[in-house]
Structure 1
Amino acid sequence: MTLSLLLKGLVKGTTFEHMRNLNESAKALRELLSQRILVLDGAMGTMLQQRNLVATDFGGAALEGCNENLVPTRPDVVLEIHRKYFEAGSDIVETNSFGGAPIVLAEYGLAAHAHELNKRAAELARQAADELATSQKPRFVAGSIGPTTKAITVTGGVTFEQLREAYYIQAKGLVEGGVDVLLVETCQDTRNIKAAILAIQGLSREIGGEVPFIVSVTIEPMGTMLAGQTVEAMWASLRHAHPLAFGMNCATGPEFMTDHIRTLSQL
């Protein structure tokens, strides 16, 4: 999925050691963002489609289309995509975990494997980042957390606590796998975002260190998210949580994001 972020203000071992590294990553990202624009990678799904994968690549017919399960079944393909994005000049790549929340994986009977799939997705991206990082060009990993297939305001069928727990499981796996920052993306409902932020904050308290995160919302042609919030309202409701960055992706594409980006830049 192509991601166009407006960066606003806006990088192993035991868990404690990695938390210390997360704090260092956040500092490094903020410092770099004060100096230049950082480039995020492009679409993982599109790149996977170009590989013409078949059911056996996904682990069988019942799992066909579950990109997240390619992490254990075709790690070579996922790793190659990460490498190609870094080689093309990306500063940050996203993990192959957009649909990695238990709520989404349950549709394939994989909910119980959510933690391990997210952790392994992070490990693959981390491997590529470490291979291609230099002192002049550090490389970072963003843990992709999609909106799930449920939105409290739009679709119903899920409670706030169920979402918070699902986001927590996903975030924990990504952090343990070695991400530098979490990316809560393609957001369409303020309540989902709040559940994700509470999950991340809970994880931060549990491990005793900052877990930096970015939020990216999806603005539809009518000028709001699907749940009806404007980008200004969204920023006002989450700025207190101090995200590393705030932006937009998907939906209308970059051409029609101009007015919203201009608005954000003035807030």
Structure 2
Amino acid sequence: MNREAFRERLNQGPLLLDGAMGTMLHARGAHIGQCFDALSRDNPALVAEIHRLYIDAGADMIETNSFGANRYKLSEYGLEDEVEAINKAAVALARRVIMGAFKPVLLAGSVGPLGVRLAPLGRVKREQAEAAFGEQLAALVAPPEGLPGAAGIDLLLIETMSDVKEVEAAVRAARAIAPDLPIVAQMTFTRDDRTLLGNRPADVAQKLMALDVDAVGVNCSSGPAQVLRLLVAMRAAVPEAVLAVSPNAGWPQQTEGGRVLYPATPAYFGEYARAFVKAGARLVGGCCGTTEAHIRAMRAALDTPGASARELPRVSVEGSEGGKVPAERPTA
């Protein structure tokens, strides 16, 4: 898919992305200390199951299981020399699932932070960051082996970033390898509506748009209420932009038994799906803590003719969704 084709697809209506991968893997038995990115190769049935669940729930787009599959993050597991193999396995597996679903589902290549600070805040120079992203991206865009005629990723999803300079390094690497590849760039924000480096959403949106990407937005962060607030601020700053949002299912809470729960329910996400689109988002999905049930609820909300969002909880600068979810409560 090229950039023009991506724009044409967006003109047909908003795209529904998938939900979480990491928390879904953990819920199905993947140990928190293992490399989730390597599971596309080492436990493909588990990853494929999650891809299928999201497609069956109505996602228009799924992401490769490659969020941390760069040299720096993989070195934490002694896998830094397997960047190509792990990323290619992620693409091939996702492509097989899409082909088996017989649905026009797009494949986004998930690229997250390197896990190290860029200069001048850290030790990694811009050229080193670009090289690391380039190594990963080359594997993601390559046609998957064993699938004649199949393409690599349809678009690139740069996500959960805190440093615009790191996004810039990823974009530069992508444009050098695949100049016409659509790019969606998403940042994450803390409870005070700033990035870890202190940037506000309006400033972030303007800086991202200057990088020649095809969509900008927010993922991870808190739950839908905060992300809606951030989306509105971005829209005001860059009204011409294509916007994308994928919130967490609220701030995680730990029970007395040590279990981690994400409080935002599927019904809550369904309420916000149309609110996101009404506020200007063209790509909507979920991040940490979301499941196929959240995506199914969003699909139903987006597909309801003439539906409008109910009155939503008050959005305040100080507010968070640390479990105070209106109307619905987590039952697990």
1:37 counterpart letter in structure 2: P
1:126 alignment partner, one of 71, 87, 95: 95
Q: 1:71 and 2:40 equivalent?
A: yes
The 8 Å contact of residues 205 and 217 in structure 2, kept in 1 or not, is answered as no
Partner residue in 1 for 2:172 = 198
- C-alpha deviations, 1:29-77, integer Å up to 9, x for none? 322311211110000011111211359xxxxxxxx52001112110111
Query: What is the aligned partner in structure 1 of residue 25 from structure 2?
Result: 48
Unpaired segments ≥5 residues, structure 1:
1-21, 56-63
Aligned-partner SS, 2:197? coil
Structure 1 residue matching 2:68: 3-state secondary structure: coil
Structure 2 matches for 1:1-267, cutoff 5 A? 22-23=1-2, 26-53=3-30, 64-134=33-103, 138-152=104-118, 156-176=122-142, 177=144, 178-204=152-178, 209-266=179-236, 267=238
For 1:53 and 1:100, the matched residues in 2 are separated by: 17
SS at structure 2 position matched to 1:81 = helix
Cα distance in 2 for residues equivalent to 1:107 and 1:47? 21
Change in Cα spacing, 1:79 to 1:258, as seen in structure 2 (3 Å) is: same
Distance 2:16 2:231 in 1: 17
Relative to structure 1, is the Cα distance of residues 259 and 74 closer, same or farther in structure 2, using a 3 angstrom cutoff? same
Deviation at 1:125, TM superposition (A): 1.0
Normalised TM-score (structure 2)? 0.65
What's the offset of the Cα at 1:167? 0.5
* Distance of 1:84 and 1:154 partners within structure 2: 42
Query: What secondary structure is seen at the aligned counterpart in 2 of 1:241?
Result: coil
**Normalized per residue, which structure has more helix?**
1
Q: What does the per-residue CA deviation read over 1:202-257, in whole Å, with 9 as the maximum and x for residues that have no partner?
A: 112xxxx5121110100112221111222222222232333221110112222112
Shift of the 148–35 alpha-carbon distance from structure 1 to 2, 3 Å rule, reads same
**Displacement over 4 Å in runs of 4+:** none
Q: Is the 8 A contact 1:190 1:227 kept in 2?
A: no
Amino acid at match of 1:152: L
Q: d(CA) in 2 for partners of 1:40 and 1:188?
A: 21
Structure 1 Cα separation of the partners of residues 157 and 31 of structure 2: 29
Q: What's the CA shift for 1:154?
A: 9.0
Gaps of 5+ in 2: 145-151, 239-332
- Letter of the 1:190 counterpart: V
The separation in 2 between residues aligned to 1:120 and 1:52, in whole angstroms, is 20
Q: CA deviation at 1:153?
A: 6.3
Number of residue pairs the alignment of both structures matches: 229
Amino acid across the alignment from 1:91:
D
Residue 85 to residue 155, structure 1, CA distance change in 2 (3 Å): farther
Write the distance in 2 (CA, Å) between the matches of 1:222 and 1:50: 29
Whole-Å Cα distance in 1 between the matches of residues 21 and 55 of structure 2? Answer: 13
Distance 2:102 2:14 in 1: 17
* 1:32 aligned counterpart, secondary structure: helix
Larger radius of gyration: 2
Residue 131 to residue 29, structure 1, CA distance change in 2 (3 Å): farther
TM-score (ref. length: structure 1): 0.80
